[in-house]
Amino acid sequence: MSHGTDSACFKPQAKPLPDPIGDTRARMQRTGQWQPQQMAGRRWAVACVCLEITQRCNLDCTLCYLSENSEAVRDLPLEEIFRRIDMIVRYYGPGTDVQVSGGEPTLRRRDEVVAIVRRLAARGLRASLFTNGIRATRDLLVELADAGLTDVAFHVDTTQQRVGHHNETDLNALRREYIERARGLPISVFFNTTVHAGNLEDVPMLAAFFVSQADVVRLASFQLQADTGRGVLGARVESISNDSVAKRLQQGACSSLNFNVLTAGHRDCNRSADRSTHLASSRQ
Ligand code: SF4
């Protein structure tokens, strides 16, 4: 959370706080973000923590948040990852959602990815695998679920320039394949989609697709193009906004979406909508 006055902004503390959730609640109150549906400061001390276990990736998205030099960065040793996991528990407490991310986390050795998820679960943290899915086989997902994985979030969209998939409709075949890999496992299944000028008009179709897959897909997250990292597309056009994406989600879902069920952090940064069996969210 980087909004509000300087004095109200989050700053890493020298020492863990005795009551991290209470501290977040106090900050939400000071910055006018406290509402009955606000989860930050109620369920979480922090909406989530991103644990980047490698900077390498097997894709080169046109909107990638990594730096130009990421492929040259060596993976942190497992001991350092474990030290960071222990730090997350100390600062934010058990129950915190941790995105096991990268780069592409499955590029690390399989036994290390499993050990990381096992360590997170042993510390009472909720581990999500954030993956482009290429190496997230059924077999790996079974092993990770057994190690304590809570969710898998598949990132699939046209920024990835996947061979043989020319548009978002083509990519639905791949999304279906990933859904089948996770079907029946004791983990929640999420999908991440980056919204850019080339797929803004596909958002209603994507919303309809995710609704049709709601027996497995629990959350569909739409993340608005941002001018950050090594991605070549740059800043988003004006037509892409939380409002314009919400309108298209509404069209595709073919029912009224309630965008005020939950709030996670600052209201200008993200919003979530409930459609009885699953959530859709947009984030900028
Ligand atoms: S956005 Fe994710 S999948 Fe795409 S290149 Fe970057 S790390 Fe890889």
Q: What is the tens place of the pLDDT at every residue in 158-197?
A: 999 999 999 999 999 999 999 999 999 999 999 999 999 9
- DSSP helix/strand/coil, 7: helix
Q: Which of 53, 56, 160, 191 to mutate to test the pocket of ligand 1 (most atoms within 8 A of CB)?
A: 160
Report the separation in Å between the CA atom of 59 and the middle of ligand 1, taken as the mean of its atom positions.
6
Report the separation in Å between the CA atom of 200 and the middle of ligand 1, taken as the mean of its atom positions.
19
Q: State how far the alpha carbon of 245 is from the alpha carbons of 60, 92, 151, 200, 217, in Å.
A: 25, 32, 24, 8, 19
If you take atom 4 of ligand 1, which residue's CA is the nearest one? 61
Q: Is the pLDDT of residue 1 over 80?
A: no
Ligand 1 atom closest to 66 (CA): 6
The H or E element spanning position 126 is: strand 126-131
Report the separation in Å between the CA atom of 99 and the middle of ligand 1, taken as the mean of its atom positions.
14
What was the pLDDT predicted at 36?
87
200-240 pLDDT, tens digit per residue, is 999 999 999 999 999 999 999 999 999 989 989 989 999 99
Report the separation in Å between the CA atom of 30 and the middle of ligand 1, taken as the mean of its atom positions.
36
Q: Is the pLDDT of residue 278 over 70?
A: no
Which of these, 85, 93, 4, 11, lies nearest to 50 by C-alpha position?
A: 85
- DSSP helix/strand/coil, 105: helix
Enumerate residues lining ligand 1, CB below 6 A: 57, 59-61, 64, 66, 102-104, 132, 155, 160
Which of these, 154, 195, 157, 158, lies nearest to 177 by C-alpha position?
A: 154
